[in-house]
């Protein structure tokens, strides 16, 4: 793995807020949805929230394999790995964003609020006219 491309990937994910998240559904097919990334410092671990009982939540209960794709006009970064559901209060408080109040009206203690921690295993990207694929 090229250190420069890894730095570009880390810079790209840190600047990204919107992405797509794909999980395997009940029929064995990929199912993608839009997510809002929070507190991502590098491509190794990426976080976002979801609602307890949502399709994402239920599907991750059965299959932890997932993928995130962050992109803009000319660049894309696809991360493949595993997702873990975090419901502990420490994680929920750490990752709380003020605009979450519209979705989780009880704040960080809302029982429908949880965090998804995505751990990257493989990366595929095209950033600044350079493509690469590598394992983490």
The span from the CA of 123 to the CA of 75, in Å, is 14
pTM for the full predicted model: 0.95
The encoded tokens of residue 100 equal 């979450």
Residue 106: DSSP 8-state: T
Q: Which residues contact 80 (CB under 8 A, 6 or more apart)?
A: 66, 67, 120, 121, 122, 123, 124
Three-state SS string over 81-96 comes to EEEEEECCHHHHHHCC
Categorize the per-residue pLDDT at 32 as very low, low, confident or very high, splitting at 50, 70 and 90.
Answer: very high
Q: What is the pLDDT of residues 50-99, one digit of tens each?
A: 999 999 999 999 999 999 999 999 999 999 999 999 999 999 999 999 99
């Amino acid at each position: 793995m090229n250190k420069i491309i890894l730095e570009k990937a880390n810079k790209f994910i840190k600047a990204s807020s919107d992405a797509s998240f794909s999980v395997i559904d009940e029929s064995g097919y990929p199912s993608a949805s839009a997510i809002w990334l929070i507190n991502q410092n590098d491509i190794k671990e990426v976080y976002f929230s979801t609602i307890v009982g949502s399709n994402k939540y239920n599907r991750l209960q059965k299959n932890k394999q997932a993928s995130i794709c962050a992109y803009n006009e000319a660049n894309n970064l696809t991360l493949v790995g595993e997702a873990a559901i975090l419901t502990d209060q420490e994680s929920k408080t750490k990752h709380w964003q003020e605009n979450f109040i519209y979705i989780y009206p009880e704040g960080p203690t809302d029982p429908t609020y949880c965090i998804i921690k995505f751990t990257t295993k493989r990366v595929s990207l095209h950033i600044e006219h350079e493509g690469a694929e590598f394992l983490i």
